């Protein structure tokens, strides 16, 4: 299974929900502490078979690509702005139990690092960056001076504040958060 996952070339993170699903599966196997020669439980064999079959759906996956030739923002004839996924990044929850707010904070840190990498890669002057989280706790931490926070939180908030000092953070309802798909994982046919 790990060799199947490693064959998925995904430099922009567009297959994130699929890869997260596979990593969660591997994590379940890891928790069982099976030896190489041990039989995998039947329910996990079925899950693996379904995943392997679903990988065939990737050849039908179509992602629109756009090339910009100007720094000017263009609107459609109806005056709407179109937003498309540029890239994504994810991590699987560690086996060691971590609180949901701390996991959400790590996700915000990952986002802040990614936006800085994207900005430097594009080599464009970008104004008005808006970042979103569905965690009110994380948004409150980001708005708090780090010295008032506990060490784990303060260290990450410091990095986030440094990376995103000119950006605006906003709340987005979980049900409306498109980034939530990658945190749950998904089979190719569901994307």
Q: Using one digit for the tens of pLDDT, what is the confidence trace for 7-57? A: 777 777 777 778 888 888 888 888 888 887 888 889 888 888 888 888 877
pTM recorded for the entire structure = 0.64
Assign 3-class secondary structure to the chain: CHHHHHCCCCCCCCCHHHHHHHHHHHHHHHHHCCCCCCCCCHHHHHHHHHHHHHHHHHHHCCCCCCCCCCCCCCCCCCCCCCCCCCCCCCCCCCCCCCCHHHHHHHHHHHHHHHHHHHHHHHCCCCCCCEEEECCHHHHHHHCCCHHHCCHHHHHHHHHHHHHCCCCEEEECCHHHCCCHHHHHCCCHHHC
Neighbours of 181 (CB within 10 A): 15
Higher pLDDT, 156 or 13: 156
Q: Using one digit for the tens of pLDDT, what is the confidence trace for 107-135? A: 999 989 988 888 888 776 777 788 889 89
Task: Determine what percent of the chain is predicted with pLDDT higher than 90.
Answer: 23
User: Rounded to whole angstroms, how far apart are CA atoms 113 and 12?
Assistant: 14
Give the best-scoring range by mean pLDDT among 87-101, 118-132, 153-167: 153-167
| Arithmetic mean of pLDDT, 160-181 | 86
- Whole-number mean pLDDT of the chain? 80
């Amino acid at each position: 299974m790990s060799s199947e996952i490693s064959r998925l070339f995904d430099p922009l993170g567009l297959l994130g929900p699929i890869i997260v699903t596979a990593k969660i599966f591997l994590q379940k196997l890891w928790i069982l502490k099976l030896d190489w020669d041990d039989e995998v439980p039947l329910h996990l064999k079925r899950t693996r078979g379904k995943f392997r079959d679903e990988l065939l759906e990737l050849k039908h996956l179509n992602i629109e690509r756009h090339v910009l030739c100007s720094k000017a923002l263009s609107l459609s004839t109806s005056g709407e702005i179109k937003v498309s996924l540029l890239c994504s990044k994810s991590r699987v929850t560690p086996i060691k139990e971590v609180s949901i707010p701390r996991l959400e904070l790590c996700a915000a840190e990952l986002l802040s690092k990614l936006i800085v990498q994207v900005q430097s890669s594009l080599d464009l002057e970008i104004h008005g960056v808006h970042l979103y989280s569905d965690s009110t706790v994380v948004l409150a931490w980001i708005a708090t001076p780090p010295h008032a926070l506990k060490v784990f939180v303060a260290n990450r908030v410091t990095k986030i504040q440094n990376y995103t000092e000119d950006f605006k953070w906003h709340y987005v309802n979980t049900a409306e958060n498109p980034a939530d798909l990658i945190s749950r994982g998904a089979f190719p046919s569901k994307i």
